[in-house]
Chains A and B, each alone.
Chain A
Amino acid sequence: MNDERDFSDERLNAFVDNQLGAEDCEEILAAVATNVELGQRLCALRSAKELVRHAYGNVPAARRRLNRQVPVWGGALAASVALIVGVLAGWLGHHATTSVKPPGLSAAWAGGVFATEPARILIHLDSAKAEQMDAALDLAEAYLAKVGSAQVEIIANHRGLDLLRARTTPYAGRIAELKVHHARVGFVACGQTMARLQRVGEDVTLVPEAAVTRTAIEHVAERVQEGWTYLKI
């Protein structure tokens, strides 16, 4: 038997990782009984695998970025903006039709959200860039103006929290006006982001229209679960 050919490292790795069929496993197990060197190689591979598991069994706690200056994921951002443009173009332009399918949304989503039931839209803002704050508020305003029964929420975290902080928001008046005219609009701040800012001495007093949730990502998950449409600016 040619061990180099039949018991290559790739095959032994596959054995260690449970990627071989029963027949192959039996062949290797039978060979190990008489081949000490093979046993040692398997032992070394298992050991490497266990060490990697051990090394990342407890990883350091996540540290959140307080000042995300430049979006790392340009593609995702562009896609989000494109999605919103698509929603606005498709939805505002064809509100009367029930079969509208805005670009970027599946038929399932479109059928549910854009049919007869009131739309429930969750807009996620995590940037303090003026154009992105504008986009979030523009979208909320346009939606509410078009569909009086719509429920719209803006959830802000990371630097996007600046939109809802009394000391930093350039849009306090606009937010107040939206709330006066639309009872079903909501503004929600991420409690985790607020706590982090407080720890470094920042004033996190919010505009009076804002509520606080524990974490933004959990809030998003819950809203999606409830059937809201999620849009990230």
Chain B
Amino acid sequence: MNLRRLSAVAKKECLHILRDSSSLYISIALPMILLLLYGYALTLDVDRVPIVIWDQSETTESRELISRFAGSHYFTAQSFASGYKDIEHAIDTRQALAALIIPKEFAQLLGAGESTPVQMIVDGTDANTATLALGYAQVVTLVYSQEIILQKARQLRGQVLTVPIDVRPRAWFNPDLESKNYIIPGLIAVIMMVIAALLTSLTIAREWETGTMEQLISTPIKGPELITGKLIPYIFLGLLDVLLAVLMGKYLFHVPLRGNVGLLFAMATVFLAGAMSLGMLISIITKSQMLASQAAIVVTFLPSFLLSGFIFAISNMPVVIQWVAHLIPATYFITLLKGIYLKGIGLEVLALEAVLLTLFSVVVVLLANFKFKRKLV
């Protein structure tokens, strides 16, 4: 490895990046825009679910139940229906995601002390929202139900009873269950993976396609020097993105960063080296920009988006898919990021993930070098 040749390649690659300013802008603007979107616009939190209400009873009791629903910030009364047709229409056209149906005999049944049915219909197409909404509805009803019972007991016997059991939830690391706190740390990993692979997947293929590879081969430069030299500027660009993302997370979105920032950047560097070498490897193997870009997307973007535990929890997947998920470097990086960000834990807990991530990077870097040598001969 000759430092002079290495820096010459690095300088040449820097010029490439700087001259093609649109790629440079995009590699800086894309992370910012994505972060802004996620930070402000995208949330999995379910609140103010629009419901359509069919109140057949129209009594004080039924209106009290409705106000319990509408008064909780989980639901908003979108409209009132007077039959199943209205409900069907509201749900088909997605004006409402759920319907609350109160039967005609609601007040009588309650008065007679019978168990009183109330019906809830949810639009099951979005199962996640539906599950959350149903959970809220169950709790709202059960709490109101117990109040009714307590009240009745008091009226009939003058007995003062209390609610028997109460749940005290404690959500650790994210007390308000805000999805942004959980998404933004993971997002850093996804963005890095994509930017890294995108930036580097074309570099070698481009040299082949434009014919400049022959010129490079005729120089005394060696394979590892070329690959490392090409990687260095991109790694710095990637780290700049990480820095921007961390700053935005902290000052714009107030995502708590409880762990060690040094560890975060160290891991980011390891991850970037691996992800970028992966892009290089793709570039070396395909030799064509079109194929390289397709392969880079297939190999990096969707897996790190869908399989890495970024949003879809790995523990909910079938076992075989869990193995696949553990082949993806972003999985480890996301675990590391979430741990460092939210739990404030360090290597004492995350050592395994850190080791595996490093292992991945080393293997890919070596593989890229090895493959490149063979292509030259």
Instruction: Decide whether A and B assemble into one complex.
Output: no
Chain A interface residues (CB < 8 Å from chain B): none
